[in-house]
A and B are shown apart, each in its own frame.
Chain A
């Protein structure tokens, strides 16, 4: 194909539109999956996350065996380090305060939530702010790396990945079969799509992205990029003086092409922009489309000031944490965990204490009526 960006942009736009639509219909909130375990002892949505991971794990493995997926591990994953743990804990805490993670904020914003718009602004600011501390943080990540370059568990154990993924997928599959009566949720809301169906749809979208873009869904670098683009208006020279905004960590040959493309967090329209901007835009628009069809697109802004401040601060630290990890829930939980990326697995575990802390903090200090 002559233009390596065309397939990427089309795939990301379609995946985003469908993802935003179905996540709105089923309230598929990853933050809620973790938070509600601690706040309400409700494990329903966590089972949906397990389902999504298991289905993705099976598809990614089969795709790798048949040579359909270009690279395993896919680009931009790194070795785990202390930075992953600290970033994961902060991410878990901040996503509870922000009322949604990097993707949840998009579908809620798209359906008319003013609080999520504020969280989105905080996310851009926090992501761009990371550029100021990048030199310190990347030094910490390098000096505390847990492996000598290995990214996935199969690489660490020097074993074919299917020897690990298939047993894990089978055990998790048996667990889900055992609790199969608890996989549906009664709902009388209009246009509801059962979360288990959405989990499978999202696993399929991740697979489509892996096949055509060369990696599963991910969007966080584009928040720094968008933040940097805004910062350019006020401090153009400063933006170009920061190594984080001039580096090009993404450098790969996308599937079905023979052209090397590169991208980074700077304001330039590059490979990262081609992959992630369409996702950000179309996840939001997919949710708007869903809400408008249901006649549920309503804007309410008369809310306690405390809540506005909380989501803004939460969004800021969420954006910062997403760069510290680096990555977010969909990148690591829906993409990295299924291929047993150690960074992703450690991030997932680090989310637990962070979400627990966030839930306690929110229930005690923020929500009053």
Chain B
């Protein structure tokens, strides 16, 4: 997306739209590494977003649009380019939200695979999230997922 399209999206959906797209992009990268690739993985990430920090005020339609743009961006530009841009824009709060979402998506199927974990840890590190913080987020994700679906 060019700056023009980003600004149009902000104008329509609010400043949270770009945050949502970055958060969803990070979660989709982890989901893809964890074996949930393509449109199915993107849909699962979009459906798992519930009341994440930084996404307040966005309605479902805006989140869906942000998710579709995230998916298109990953397909068109590649993981590294999309993640680099997201890492630059996300602050500590929204970076936590991105990793939390990634963990929750992985937990839907029981847990993060070794491949998913191999992507998640360095990404968290690049977002400024250390190992202990990451572990805390994993625990939080598990609790939320258990509340949401009765899964462990």
- A and B together in one complex: no
Q: B: which residues have CB within 8 A of A?
A: none
Q: A: which residues have CB within 8 A of B?
A: none
